Amino acid sequence: MKAVFIDRDGTINVEREFVHRIEDWEFIPGAVEALRYLTDHGVSIYIITNQSGIARGYYDEAQFHTLMDHVTKDLREQGVRIEKVLYCPHLPNGSVARYAIDCNCRKPKTGLIDGIMVEQGLDVRDVALIGDKESDIEAGRRLGMVTYLVMTGYGREYVSGTSAVHVKDDILDAVKHLLGID
């Protein structure tokens, strides 16, 4: 396994509507340990997240970057390396005109992932995707990746109709399975 694309809200952090402030961020129990396992095994970590709150005008890109800079610094201090945070700020019916578009980067579309796959020379056989929504799973499925639906966040709402290859309790359970750790 060379790389993992991981959804943010509901997969790494506790799902709260439109998290964009540091004080509202809370890691899901076991998430940092899971990310550290990936780092320790030389697996590149890409956080991939739809951020429609930007298109809705709830917060701006600067606020999003401030939060994610804080999170990645915190993770780095805990022995986790995040290669890149990939995000889509768009929503077709958003209230901020410049973001109110039908783009190719909003999951389940694959534009954000496609770019990294080409840039890093990754093969779908060497990557996986972990998320809590069917839009996450569908993005990975469209590219032929191994996919993991986790039961944190919105996962329980999607489990009965998921196309995920694997269903796991949380990101730690998914990563342990992915890496073959008991």
Question: Which entry of 9, 132, 136, 173 is annotated as an active-site residue?
Answer: 9
The span from the first CA to the last CA of the chain, in angstroms, equals 17
Under DSSP, the state recorded for 162 is -
Any catalytic annotation for residue 74? no
Q: Coil, strand, or helix at residue 128?
A: strand
Catalytic residue among 7, 132, 136, 170: 7
Nearest to 91 by CA among 106, 71, 70: 106
Q: What is the 3-state secondary structure (H, E, C) of 55-89?
A: HCCCCCHHHHHHHHHHHHHHHHHCCCCCCEEEEEC
Residue with tokens 């056989």: 125
7 is catalytic: yes
| Active-site amino acid positions | 7, 9
